[in-house]
């Protein structure tokens, strides 16, 4: 009986420790909850308009990343025959700088939108 009681205490202790040590995901950085919306491609007006401009381009894509603790967005194009400029923008659409200059300071880079028949290999 004493062994069962000790075993039960041990199980409860381990389970409690496991629950306490679990880290909750920060919803601010969740790819499904950017800029305090569930679908930034449709709900962030400037981003929606920017994507609409390139929606038919199979080489275009938009990515999200972390820059100085802030969720940001930038345009990309994988067409080897073109030269383009891209800018890092925050949720409000403010230009934070040239993507080429800031790219090495970005982390957690994820493709947010690409053409359904994208030619890009990620």
The string of pLDDT tens digits covering residues 18-38 is 333 343 444 444 544 578 899
Question: Residues of the chain with pLDDT > 70: what percent?
Answer: 73
DSSP secondary structure string for all residues of 22-78: PPPP-GGG-TTSBTTBS-HHHHSHHHHHHHHHHTT-TTEEEEEEEETTEEEEEEEE-
Q: What is the pLDDT of residue 22?
A: 41
pTM (2 d.p.): 0.71
Q: What is the pLDDT of residue 53?
A: 97
Domain ranges of the chain: 26-114
């Amino acid at each position: 009986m004493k062994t069962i009681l000790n075993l039960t205490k041990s199980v409860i202790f381990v389970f409690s420790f496991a629950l306490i040590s679990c880290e909750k995901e920060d919803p601010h950085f969740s790819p499904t909850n950017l800029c305090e919306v569930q679908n930034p491609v449709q709900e962030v007006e400037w981003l929606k308009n920017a994507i609409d401009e390139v929606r038919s381009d199979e080489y275009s894509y938009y990515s999200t990343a972390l820059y100085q603790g802030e969720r940001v967005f930038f345009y990309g194009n994988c067409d080897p025959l073109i030269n383009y400029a891209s800018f890092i923008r925050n949720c409000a659409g403010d230009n934070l700088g040239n993507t080429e200059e800031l790219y090495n300071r970005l982390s957690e880079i994820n493709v947010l939108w690409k053409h359904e028949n994208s030619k890009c290999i990620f």
